Amino acid sequence: MPLLVMKFGGTSVADLDRIKNAAQKVKREVDRGYDVIVIVSAMSGKTNELVGWVESTSPLFDAREYDAVVSSGENVTAGLMALTLQEMDVPARSWQGWQVPLKTTSAHSSARIEEIPRANIDAKFAEGMKVAVVAGFQGISAEGRITTLGRGGSDTTAVAFAAAFGAERCDIYTDVDGVYTTDPRIEDKARKLDKIAFEEMLELASLGAKVLQTRSVELAMRYKVRLRVLSSFEENTETSGTLVCDEEEIMEQNIVSGVAYSREEAKMTLTAVEDRPGIAAAIFGPLAEAGVNVDMIVQNISEEGRTDMTFSCPINLVGRAQSAINKARDRGEIAFGSLVADTDVAKVSVVGIGMRSHTGVASTMFRALAQEGINIKVIATSEIKISVLIDRKYMELAVQALHDVFGLDKAA
């Protein structure tokens, strides 16, 4: 039988009525002749509640027990979804990660998927099961302990199952009806995209778009899993939502496909840094060891053997970055004048595979920002994206100006 993977996020299974609504969508696909693997998240707010219980019980918690507790939310949803489908006369069974078994690394709370053997689920499909309801976000380590994949990990679970079982498609049901050119809450002219390339979606996800988890898009691109983002609160057709697919499936599109933003950014500058071979490694090595995710990096021209080094990082990692840099100085590994943190910045980015073959995107972007009186603090580029750091108070204005100047309200 052809197979689909359908994933329902927390808002889509927030209560029994929404679980029933999701189950009706699953039944519709079964009636069309599909076997279905359903991946479910915990009910909306449940994971936060469980995390709160763990932190209140043990501030310096054992990560293995943390995973045992926080993974239980998905188990409840999976059982309720299977029961709901059974009440609709759909043969369904719930599966926890260890029952599949979804094999992962032993990095508790941030495990990575290593293997999904098909034998157990395939055997049940052969016996007449039509729907396997799998608890997302969780797996089992080689030591036999429950692991979790990190927040948003149910998206990754869904894509991994689609790859392992050769699914025709992986449908991600959420509280939005697709991927938009930018956040409709900021720009009311934002337009839903019918299709978007894997690379573009990956950039948008990593730059702040919340529709899909970054790791899930990476996995989909690697294994060529066609993803569809849909609303669980609307009637869906074969052409609903946004299809995330290979670039070759997209006939015509705008040079820029979307504008992304991230409010939670900080700019950090080390002044009067020694300008010598190995200084970048001496700075960014300790940051990496401390788990600081550095994004944009700029080094000024050297003068009298000294230079300034600027980088951006998430605002919640500023304290960790400061500690790592100061410890490196105390150990005599680096020398600098001062470390200045600017926590009042935002990152705004334009993304599009059309940028590979068209010139002038950067100049158009910079001119649009200049016309709005927005000063650029840092610039970073790749083949299909341009990102800038600006004062946070101008973020929404920048998003709107860029959406307008690249004509994103109009289809190609």
CA 351 from chain centre, in angstroms, equals 16
Distance of alpha carbon 80 from alpha carbon 20, whole angstroms? 9
Once rounded to an integer, what is the mean pLDDT over residues 160-171? 96
Helix-then-strand count for the chain, H and E = 12, 18
Least confident of 72-76, 355-359, 374-378: 355-359
* 38 strand-pairing partners: 6, 133
**Hey, what are 194's tokens?**
């019918």
Q: What pLDDT was estimated at residue 180?
A: 92
Q: Residue 412: which pLDDT band, with cuts at 50, 70 and 90?
A: low
Query: Contact 49/69 with Cβ under 8 angstroms?
Result: no
User: Contact 285/246 with Cβ under 8 angstroms?
Assistant: no
Pairing of strands 92-95, 131-135: parallel
pLDDT at 366 over 90: yes
What is the C-alpha to C-alpha distance for residues 236 and 109, in angstroms, rounded to an integer?
34
As a whole number, the mean pLDDT across the chain is 93
- Given a cut of 70, whether residue 377 has pLDDT beyond it is yes
Task: Look up residue 191 and give its two tokens.
Answer: 């337009």
pTM equals 0.84
pLDDT-above-70 percentage for the chain? 99
pLDDT digits over 206-255, tens only? Answer: 886 778 888 899 999 999 999 999 998 888 777 789 999 988 888 767 88
Average pLDDT over residues 390-400: 97
Which comes out higher in pLDDT, residue 15 or 213? Answer: 15
So what's the pLDDT on residue 252? 66
Give pLDDT, residue 317. Answer: 93
**Residue 403 pLDDT > 90:** yes
How many whole angstroms separate alpha carbon 367 and alpha carbon 408?
17
Nearest to 105 by CA among 48, 59, 145: 145
94-152 tens-digit pLDDT:
999 999 999 999 999 889 999 999 999 999 999 999 999 999 999 999 999 999 998 88
If DSSP codes are grouped into helix, strand and coil, which group holds residue 396? helix
Is it the case that residue 13 has pLDDT exceeding 90? yes
pLDDT tens-digit readout, 274-307? 888 999 999 999 999 998 989 899 888 777 788 9
Mean pLDDT across 10-32: 96
- Averaged pLDDT, 28-46: 96
Directed axis angle between helix 72-87 and helix 16-31, to 10°? 60
Q: Is 355 left (phi over 0), alpha (psi -120 to 50) or beta?
A: alpha
Query: How high is the pLDDT of residue 254?
Result: 80
Q: How far apart are CA 29 and CA 26, in angstroms?
A: 5
pLDDT tens for each residue of 172-213: 998 888 999 999 999 999 999 999 999 999 988 888 677 888
Determine the longest span between alpha carbons in the chain, in angstroms: 78
Q: For 304-322, write each residue's pLDDT tens digit.
A: 788 999 999 999 999 999 9
CA 102 to each of CA 22, 138, 178, 179: distance values in angstroms, whole numbers, following the listed order: 24, 8, 28, 29
pLDDT higher than 90, residue 348: yes
pLDDT of residue 297: 92
Write down the pLDDT at residue 236. 78
Average pLDDT over residues 48-57: 95
DSSP secondary structure, 250-270, as one string? --S--S--EEEEEEEEEEEEE
Number of residues written out for the chain:
412
